[in-house]
A and B are shown apart, each in its own frame.
Chain A
Amino acid sequence: MNAPRLDLSAKFPVKVGHSSATGTAAAAPAAVPAATPKRTGTSGKLLRNPFFVIGAVILSVMVALAVFAPWVAPFSPDEIDLFAIEEPPGGGHWLGTDEVGRDVFSRLLFGGRVSVLVGVSAVALQLVIGVALGALAGYCGGLVDAVVMRLTEVVMCFPFYAIAITLAALFGASVWNVILIIGILHWTGLARLVRAEFMSLREREFVLAARAIGTSPLRIVLRHLLRNSYGPVLVYATLAVAQGVLAEAALSFLGLGVRQPQPSWGNMLSAAQSMRVLSDQWWLWMPPGIAIMLMVLAINFLGEALSSNLNRRPARPVADLWPRRRAHRQP
């Protein structure tokens, strides 16, 4: 169980390039070559990790606000007031109003719903497609593997925005279509990761043993392989949520994401394209900008916590090059 793993992640690195397709590399901090034994984290260790705590707290608050938005929001996000256009915060509007007099704070809350929904659902879609295909390729190998890998390459070669525009024109614009676009175009990293994990686990004794006694392949996949590989997948999925939120922002900036009148942090932020808004009307872009940053940050923290939990160093003393509290070994 604790035998050192082959350094396979160098051969199948989590695709830094792929996640950068939306200008982020949210997945990369987790792409650490694990030369050390993998241990499933104990929840105690997790809770003591500052990253985890901060991330979890921020995220819970944001998700709670998003879920309870209809009750928390002082105004309806669609309520137009043509006599209160672009007002700064004050007088009932905690964060001011936008170009048609809608309350920014309410739109921020409802926009949070969109971001949370898009982030989570897009990843769910990616998981469904990616894990299924990756598992198939990793377990079966051979021709199936070749076909799946070619399919992965086909999808990876699509220029993200050009295809996103095309899909947006085809499906129309709505939250579900944004989820669909992000999900369909971004599952490849996950598939490759799952495939790599499966291919390494496949040769382990316990799997060979299970096959020897005649366990059905499906059971092997579900009970043994998936259970032992959920770690990196979980980390990747967590970071993919962040990636999804950022992708939604990018798509909205280009006019392809969630469209008026529905608010989303992305389309609120796209107002900042104008210099006037950037210099003089901070309440139009800072709230959504900070909100996106906080949520993505929190998710990244969570991912970092999970990943360092999975790739913990062994307890043996390490030669520390920076002499500090650690005891030096005696010759």
Chain B
Amino acid sequence: MQTPIHFRAQVSTLLAKVKSNLRTALSALIVPAAVAFAAVPAQAQAQAGDLLRYAILSNPKGTFHPTLYFTDYDRAVIFAVYGRLITLDEKQNPKPSLAESWTYSKDGRTLTLNLRKGVKWHDGKPFTAEDVAFTYATQAHPDFTRDKPPFVQLLQGFEDYNSGKVKTLSGVKVLNETKVSFTFKKPYAAAFSHFADRPVLAKHVWEKIPIKGWNQATQQLLNPVGTGPYKFAEFRSDQYVKLERNDDYFGGRPKIKTLIFKISNPQTIQNELVSGELDIAEITNWNDRDLQIYQKANIRIVEEAGTNGQYLTFDTRNPKLNDKRVRQAIIHAINRKALVERLLFGHGVVFNSNAHPDSPYYPADLNPYNHDANKSKELLAAAGWKDSDGDGVLDRNGEKFTFKLNVPTGNRTRELSAPIIQQNLKAVGIQVELVSADFNAVLSILQDSKQQYDGVLMGGTFRPGQYDNNFWWERFSTPPLTAYADAFNSSIDEAVLRQNVGLWLKGINDEAIRVWLYVRNGGYALGPRVANYKAHPYEPLNDIVNWTVKK
């Protein structure tokens, strides 16, 4: 029989063994950890002076194709790889890029572009007018797998081409190697807006693939060939897109050798900038404390006018909302200035029509819809809404004024504006119910004209020069507005445009088809390595050839 003493001795041996096992186990972990530690200096050190890491906020879809892309993240890559006919300058006017100059025919219907000579694609082949014609004509092709933009719909011969009756689009003509002309049914000034949005693709790459299969042409989609300042090198899904300098770029040789778009997300950008893992990132939140953190970490902030407006859209067919006065009342009830001052910390502007206040034809005499609860109640009363039973909620013919506001997730500021709006409207007697859903579901409510809704919070990017008269979201249309829109879509005369765009914007403002909540200012956080940074609204990468990074 074992004695207790024997037990004890054995136990101490056992425990010693276990202790040593534990020690080995721990050291087995410490060695790799030390190795990792040693590996870390590689990332904490400054990167080689020839590399810029630019943040994009979500994974691109990999559709690196000028006329097929649909996300902002693919767009960032595309605009670095592909060249455009024109770019936008600081005043959002067209600036020559691949197109050196242009002329209009006498009747204004034909726009002839003179293209730059000697431009080469990244694979060495020459850039010609054929590429330009091909890019835009294929958008009208019956097999093209996206919706047909107004640009192609207004081209001469569109219907015949789109229905397959004819093989070529008569409105697009290649005059010679460096001259291409677009003939529209009526003079179309917004053509330049389309050129600024859609770069030129290489005909010799894409004509080999039937248009129907462009969406699945993985090889070509993931290896874009363009004429832009950077050549495509590598795409690691959900990690980064790597681009290398195009030494023969027609706009000048870029100073930074490698451009990397790092795929990040709004929550981690700040960490990455501060820890030196990113060089440039967009500012998504203007919170003062965030800015302080950046300043402490030696990160510069660049602020510019915003390009994206947030709206509360109305379903104007909704019986509660089809009276203009009710809609105006709601705008008066919402304290939009407070939204800018409190949610955006002052870094934004209030606006009152479907264009940025700084845009060229923005009328000076729009109704400002100041925050005025009393005026709001007056308007509502005039429309028949009174609080007849004293419960604090307006009613009309026995129906209470309830308002279901659909709020998409994904934009924290927008989500926070919802309870504020709810409170504002409560003060005038409208009972708001907030319904959250994911972005896709909410946007599909707007796109489905069969669905009726009360209000939806949604945002939209402005497109300079383009004033499309479609209010699908609001299910709205009136003859005078349509007339103004038709007028400005059929003229290139500056005076005509100014007058009609102005009247159109004023008409929208008067009809109060949506609440124009705020435009958040754009901004970029620049890490200490970045030098010679320059950019302006709508063209974040325009000046990239001159940017440099310190070693």
A–B contact (CB under 8 angstroms) = yes
User: Which of chain B's residues 1-34 have a Cβ closer than 8 Å to chain A?
Assistant: 1-4, 7-8, 11, 14
Q: Are A173 and B270 in contact, CB atoms less than 8 angstroms apart?
A: no
* Chain B interface helix/strand/loop/mixed: helix
Closest to B10 in A: A321
Query: Secondary structure at chain A's binding surface: helix, strand, loop or mixed?
Result: loop
- Which residues of chain B are near A85, meaning CB under 8 Å? 342
> Which of chain B's residues 409-451 have a Cβ closer than 8 Å to chain A?
409-410, 415-416, 418-420, 422-423, 434-438, 440-441
Q: B293 near A: Cβ within 8 Å?
A: yes
| Shortest distance from the beta carbon of A329 to any chain B beta carbon, whole Å | 9
Q: Is the CB of B419 within 8 A of A78?
A: yes
User: Counting CB contacts under 8 A, is A8 at the interface?
Assistant: no
Assembly CA distance A274 to B270 (angstroms): 8
Q: Which residue of A has the minimal Cβ distance to B409?
A: A255
**Chain A nearest CB, measured from B460 CB (Å):** 21
Contacts of A328 in B (CB 8 A): 4
What class of interface size applies to chain A in its complex with B?
20 to 34
Chain B residues numbered 218-269 whose CB sits less than 8 Å from any CB in chain A: 267
Q: Residue among A275, A279, A321 with the most chain B CB within 10 A?
A: A275
Query: Which of B8, B274, B436 has the largest count of A CB atoms less than 10 A from its CB?
Result: B436
Which among B271, B415, B419, B440 has the highest number of chain A CB atoms within 10 Å? B419
The answer to the question of A172 belonging to the interface, with a C-beta cut-off of 8 Å to chain B, is yes
Q: When the two chains form their complex, are residues B422 and A261 in contact, meaning their CB atoms are under 8 A apart?
A: yes
Contact among A172, A275, A331 with B293 in the assembled complex (CB-CB below 8 Å): A275
Count A-B pairs with CB separation below 8 Å. 79
B1 contacts A173, C-beta separation under 8 Å: no
Query: Given the complex, which residues of B lie within 8 Å of A165, measured CB to CB?
Result: 438
Q: In the bound complex, how far is the Cα of B71 from the Cα of A32, in angstroms?
A: 52
B420 touches A321 (CB 8 A): no
Q: How far is the CB of B521 from chain A (nearest CB, A)?
A: 18
Nearest to B342 among chain A residues (CB) is A82
Of all chain B residues, which has the CB nearest A278?
B271
Interface contact A261-B434, CB-CB below 8 Å: yes
- The CA of A83 and the CA of B420, in the complex, are separated in Å by 12
Are B422 and A274 in touch, CB under 8 angstroms?
Answer: no
For residue B358, CB closer than 8 A to chain A, the reply is: no
Give the chain A neighbours of B4 by CB distance below 8 A: 323, 328
A169 and B437 form a contact (CB under 8 A): yes
A173 touches which of B3, B418, B436 (Cβ 8 Å): B436
Contact, CB under 8 Å: B419 / A100: yes
B416 touches A322 (CB 8 A): no
Question: How far is A2 from B275 in the complex, measured between Cα atoms in Å?
Answer: 63
Interface string of B342-358 (1 = CB under 8 A from A): 11000000000000000
A260 within 8 A of B: yes
Least CB separation from A322: chain B residue: B11
Instruction: Tell me which residues across on chain A come within 8 A of B434, comparing CB atoms.
Output: 259-261
**Are the C-beta atoms of A260 and B418 separated by less than 8 Å?**
yes
Give Cα A189–Cα B3 distance, bound, in whole angstroms: 46
Q: B residues bordering A, Cβ < 8 Å?
A: 1-4, 7-8, 11, 14, 267, 270-271, 274, 285, 287, 289-290, 293, 338, 342-343, 407, 409-410, 415-416, 418-420, 422-423, 434-438, 440-441
20 A-B residue pairs with CB within 8 Å: A78-B419, A80-B419, A80-B423, A99-B343, A100-B343, A100-B420, A165-B438, A169-B438, A259-B434, A260-B416, A260-B419, A260-B434, A261-B419, A261-B434, A275-B270, A275-B274, A276-B290, A321-B7, A323-B7, A323-B11
